[in-house]
Amino acid sequence: MDDLSFSVFKGDLITTKSSSYLVEDFLGEGTFGKVARCVEVATNEKVAVKIIKNSPGLLASAKQEIRILTRLQALDPERCGIVKWMGDFKHGPYVCLVFELLDQSLLDFTRQRAGRSLPLMQIENIVEQLASALDHLGTLGIIHADLKPDNVMMTGQDTQVKLIDFGCSIHLSQAKIGYDFCTIWYR
């Protein structure tokens, strides 16, 4: 039976063989599971931990995401505009992916502006960074496949952005005509 309930809570300690992460809060939730803001106990470094629900389909997606993230290790996350992946581990029945902690999504950033549009120069800057990130993915033959404002994060440095969430990503060799990409709502 699939464990679709979630038994990780704020204040919990998530441990691996080499690290312990204290769950400070949850940043988001989706079909896959939750993303927690954590602090690595030994170093006091703040990170984002994607905790994937225990479901055969989601676990297969997690393995695919880990394969893609492993390939992305060939790229410099700062120069290429891609979230820095710091590893993965199992916590009970859950697969956990550790990433650098980023500020907020582009969706949240635009919502906070309360209807005020971004200046054209800021839009151009964001679009150029996204085009560069996608170009770097292309050099490895990777299709993000879920590009949307939720998956573009602001770094907290001016308007620097990074791509996140490679759970739907595929290698170019896996792409087929008529293949469904991205979240249904954005299609």
Residues with catalytic function: 146
Evaluate whether 65 touches 169 at the Cβ level (below 8 Å).
Answer: yes
Amino acid identity of residue 86, one-letter, is M
Residue appearing with tokens 């394969």: 67
| CB neighbours of residue 153 within 10 Å | 27
Residues forming beta bridges with residue 28, ordered by sequence position: 35
Residues forming beta bridges with residue 25, ordered by sequence position: 37
Contacts with 30 (C-beta within 8 Å, 6 or more apart), sequence order = none
